[in-house]
Amino acid sequence: MRPGLTNKQRSFLDFLKEWLAREGGPPSLRQAAEALGVSHSAVAQQLKALEDKGYLERGGRYSRSIVILDPDGKDEAGGELQGGRKVPIIGRIAAGLPMYAQPEWEGGVVVDPDLFKGENLFALRIKGDSMIRAGILDGDLAVCQPRQFARNGEIVVALLDNEEATVKRFFLHSDRVELRPENTSYQPKSYGFDRILVQGKVIGIVRGPEQMGGI
């Protein structure tokens, strides 16, 4: 028997269920805070309370994926994962914070655990066509392993000037970092070491829904 919920916790759980049913993924902390008229920290506290009481489950300590559990502690979605692994989709990468302390998430994507291995994986939505020769298309989800280093030729998620996240092929030179696209319409760009922060290595791609019809 799970512990009972306070009125606020019950209202918050109902809000999550309605949002998940409508949007297909959990709200970000910002979205939930704005919808409920409370602070980000209040939303985080409610999530923690529901998780501690066994009413919801997140994929890891800082995961953005949320699964509402039925009274028996099972996935209310009726076995949605089917042996798969749910990876959180990062809404944005903010400067100065560890990847799994970011304040934004945009739901999760279910992947094959035999293909996508490693701890604390995250996914990032691709925008644009700069990596099409590597088979990475606009709207795809790049599944990444958290890392703060890269080897030459690896495709990485890099944070530029503490503001913009980009997915490019990484090359280290003696005096700079080169981020190279996989599209001849774009030119490689070089940056000083102080302008680049590697956030992860791309280990696989989940095709975006707009691309599925052509596969």
Catalytic residue among 130, 189, 190, 201: 130
Strands 122-125 and 85-90: parallel
**What distance in Å separates the CA atoms of residue 143 and residue 15, rounded to the nearest whole number?**
29
The two tokens of residue 43 are: 């939303």
Q: Hey, how many other C-beta atoms are within 10 angstroms of the C-beta on 177?
A: 20
Tell me whether residue 39 is one of the annotated catalytic residues: no
Tell me whether residue 168 is one of the annotated catalytic residues: yes
Catalytic residue among 168, 174, 190, 201: 168
The two tokens of residue 90 are: 């990062």
Positions marked catalytic: 130, 168
